Amino acid sequence: MIDDTDIKILEILEKDARTPWRRIAKMLGLSEATIYLRVNKMIRDRVIDGFKVSLRIDKLGLGSLIFVLIKADAKALKDLRDEIRKKPYVLEAHEISGDYQLLLKIATPNHEAASKILEEIASLPGVSEISTIVSLVPIKLSESVIDAFKYWRNQG
């Protein structure tokens, strides 16, 4: 069970996963050992799934962000999912409900590269239709799960 202290620890780590235990302990008025034990428990319980560097795709020359909706033949869906997992340019892939079965988030250096990638995706076995959405300007980029967790926890 996640308590208020765990939430405060997660908030700090989500902002900067490199924050030393000593600093977190001082911020929360707890011992370093307490922070260490709580973080390790959250790792064991898979609340924390790792510590990552958050990269800015635009600073890496990947300025074209596109979302691809895929309609797929039901019989080919399993193989298609496996094939999409292999694509290094796919940042995220989700099985979704509605008229389309899959949603992909793809970063490319430019629109020409995006066009080439879309042709590749459209030609995958089992793909019957694709629809694309090009992100023009990001409005909110957040990897904060704890804010959503706190919102829903307070709702009910």
Q: What is the predicted pLDDT for the residue at 144? A: 81
The Cα 106–Cα 87 span in angstroms is 10
Mean pLDDT of the chain: 93
SS (H, E, C) the chain: CCCHHHHHHHHHHHHCCCCCHHHHHHHHCCCHHHHHHHHHHHHHCCCCCCCCCCCCHHHHCCCEEEEEEEEECHHHHHHHHHHHHCCCCEEEEEECCCCCCEEEEEEECCHHHHHHHHHHHHCCCCEEEEEEEEECCCCCCCCCHHHHHHHHHHHC
| Class for the domain spanning 57-135 | alpha beta
Task: Answer whether 4-53 and 57-135 agree in fold.
Answer: no
Give tens-digit pLDDT for 77-115. 999 999 999 999 999 999 999 999 999 999 999 999 999
List the domain boundaries for the chain. 4-53, 57-135
Q: Which fold has domain 4-53?
A: Arc Repressor Mutant, subunit A (1.10.10)
- pLDDT (mean) for 129-133: 96
Residue 30 binned pLDDT confidence (cut-offs 50, 70, 90): very high
